[in-house]
Amino acid sequence: MPSVRTLGDRVGEVAIVQLAREESGRVIALLAHRFGDLDLADESVQDALLEAVEVWPVRGIPSNPPAWLYTVARNKAIDRLRRAASAKRRLRESAHELVAEPGEEEPDMVVEHSYVGDEQLRLLLLCCHPSLDRNTQVALTLRLVGGLTTTEIAAAFLVPEATLAQRIVRAKRKIRDAGIPLSIPANLDERVDALLDVLYLIFNEGYLSRGAGDSAIRPDLLECAVRLTEQAVELLPNSVEVLGLLAVELFAQARIDTRVDREGDLILLDRQDRTRWDLQLIAEANRVLALALSAMRPGPFQVQAMIAAHHGNARTSADTDWAAIATLYAQLSAMTGSPVVEVNRAVAVAMAEGPGAGLDVLNAARGLDDYYLWHATRGELLLQSFDFGGARESFRRARRLAANPAEQRHLDRRVADVAHAETDSPHESR
């Protein structure tokens, strides 16, 4: 039987992880504003979390963990400034009170909600600054705002930890050297689009991960993406596309427990046990989507949410309105110009009108020769058309391009299914 100390250690570890996930971004934002130094804020918060690992199992969890984190991190920042001879002036300007006991009531932790929100928004937008490449935007958002460790981010995106760490260091150096301000830009919409793209990338990586080993899903990334999107909804009340993205995520999250079987293999949508879908999440997704649509300012994420709603609200696979979904995909394609959307439209058209019509849409898409889902979809439609040779070739090509082990296993099974179908079918292979 575990000792009381061991159980206490486990409780403390869970509390620290939760604190890092949910509060470190807020504290970094507040300290970055206070000291005018993003790197100092980040390092001080990490130092404070390390101190929590050391002292919480001994002294117990503080009554107000966020205030404890802020106070300790602030003191760590002051200590760093104190030790740096070149920072004496900044110390005099920034640190009026040099130390406070951890757990003391801190004025900065009970300031107006709008102030804290502004600092969070500034940090989110800074992480998605257009001068940073997309991979760096994702890494910074997860690290500074999402509270994930460098190790976790590197594992999720199949990057060596040292490489990921250097990427973050270079990004923070670029922000400092270029004097990129921790501010809300005048053209907010442009930066919000980048933020939504980053959050969507994070969610998709959690939903079908390239770096989860034999698992298809990274729950930590899923939860992080939803939590950050909920923050963005709160911080950007006038952006209906943020609501659209949140609805997309909630619809997908509602059926996450039915996406893989006990062996970790993928279960396709039409074979998922819909009685296990989370109806409360679906209801919340419907509410968020309705709120977005009421603004009468449609955007790509809202259209994706409408598609997800058709799937999420269909109690059986046969209830799915594929004609409506195909129409929505056509609207989404016109909005985005993305050939990837055409792959999804091809599936919907095939379900509504037959595999031949779907193949026509799929074959018209350009620039997707290295996209495994184009080949996988083509294999499915060719198999339905009894073109066994073409289906086998497409599945094998998709298998070579797929990165996730669960999808690779699925495509191996589809190649075997072609052989069985060819043997059993009265149709000759084309």
Instruction: Supply the DSSP string of 143-205, one letter for each residue.
Output: IIIS---HHHHHHHTT--HHHHHHHHHHHHHHHHHTT--SS--SSHHHHHHHHHHHHHHHHHH
Q: Residue 146 CA to chain centroid, in angstroms? A: 10
pLDDT of residue 215: 66
CB 223 within 8 Å of CB 264: no
Instruction: Supply the DSSP string of 41-79, one letter for each residue.
Output: HHHHHHHHHHHHHHHHHHH---SSHHHHHHHHHHHHHHH
Burial 76-107 (b: 16+ CB within 10 A, else e): bbbebbeeeeebeeebeebbeeeebebeeebe
pLDDT, average across residues 3-18: 64
Full-model pTM: 0.77
pLDDT of residue 214: 58
Asked whether the predicted pLDDT for residue 5 surpasses 60, the reply is: no
pLDDT of residue 226: 92
pLDDT category at 300 given cuts 50, 70, 90 is very high
Strand partners, 266: 260
Whole-angstrom distance, CA of residue 52 vs CA of residue 250? 33
| Amino acid found at 96 | H
CA angle 37, 35, 141 (to 5 degrees): 45
Supply the DSSP symbol for 429. Answer: P
Q: Report which of 301, 310, 311 is spatially closest to residue 341, judged by C-alpha positions.
A: 301
Asked whether the predicted pLDDT for residue 7 surpasses 50, the reply is: no
Angle, helices 4-35 vs 219-235, to 10°: value is 40
CB under 8 Å to 222, separation ≥6 — which residues? 203, 206, 207, 249, 253, 256
Whole-angstrom distance, CA of residue 38 vs CA of residue 31? 8
Asked whether the predicted pLDDT for residue 66 surpasses 70, the reply is: yes
Least confident of 113-122, 191-200, 244-253, 256-265: 113-122
pLDDT tens-digit series, residues 359-388: 999 999 999 999 999 999 999 999 999 999
Asked whether the predicted pLDDT for residue 52 surpasses 80, the reply is: yes
Cα-Cα-Cα-Cα torsion 325, 330, 334, 337, nearest 10 degrees, comes to 90
pLDDT tens-digit series, residues 396-408: 999 999 988 888 9
